[in-house]
Structure 1
């Protein structure tokens, strides 16, 4: 199996603090903000997958286990440097719906409407994670890992649950008031007994498991068309959301030119526009 070095960045969010001691891997490493996600990536490598396979499997598990760094409803960037020095960067960030316009968050006096660009359905972009992860896996994966294998760990963890870390439990507790404003969110993120979450509690996401199963079975179409797409549009229609079925159908992640420079004898490779680098 060819060795690859990959920088894998999902939707930018809050980043956990990391230790300062270096860690080395003899044959390869999988690093993420979630223990379960990293283990899933390692298992893919053990099955004969390459770094791209492992990164994509890790990404799907992060959508289950890492509320601030993983998603299927958002997007991300991928920067890859292969062992043969091939470089590619993939942009699968969200895009604005076709109906979006520059004044959509302003009132009649051209003043910004509080929180409209942050906590309303109108703030939602057309999601890119599913398209991007599947494109990277299809175009650059080893060919040894099926789509079913790619999503198996994510589905199992969503369906059967996993133990919350202290960080995740506190995030849920800190956002309780927001969750209570949405019946569907409250059903998932608020305990039945209304008590605070704590580290070690089992967190189950049946709806997410069903979404992931549709992706596993039907690929991209399992998210951007059919049942999942219908659910997304139904949620948009409950408020002032702009995403349409056509927006979902037309979404396409794109390969971009990387930014390449040098520093003290090292080549620096980073994501180009629309990323900030």
Structure 2
């Protein structure tokens, strides 16, 4: 973060608030020779790339803040990376059924993302906000779209209960430790509200029965919770057929299988929604 952008780029954009500057000021850099056409209203200002009068004080403040951040960017990046590595290591120890997302090395220093099974991401955001932590979520459980995060989908990871923690410059270790103290209780509280199953292995049996779980009309993470509750009721080698019309199930059921050591067989059309087949391995 906050470093030079190498390579053969054509267009760069940036928002000043990302490096501590004022909100509402952006940066647009178009390399000479690149074809560029503004997509919004324009006039004669800024070579036809932006309309209206420039906010000169805010632009100057954005430039000054970028210079200040760049002066200590390398040192601050090392410090923030140590804090996010602490979160990456501690969260799976403190909270059961958590998947830490993203490469441990090739990532921005101040960002860490993880997904919690059996948790509604938006509800968890509210619980953390009440404790004084403003975090983000790539969860599919949003009131606007009810579709999985396209980024998490591309990564093939769990979309439900996703939390994205961004540490701004100046974040100290005490704040991170308090977040780690609050998080387990917040996750447990949300799981209790959703009547999520307890973690742990299930009894081993033999057989190949098929059990149907009707989750039609229910949104993430309810289909996965209902799958987890019944997987122990079929014998080892048996199938669970989950019926769901929630788009997130296509991503979250395979991710649950990988996390819980079960076999995702695939999906097939159903009279309503889609049927997802899971084989119990243990």
**Shorter-chain TM-score category?**
under 0.3
TM-score by length of structure 1 reads 0.23
TM-score, with length taken from structure 2: 0.22
- Asked which structure has the greater RCO (Cα within 8 Å, sep 6+), the reply is 1
Answer with 1 or 2: which has the greater Rg.
Answer: 2
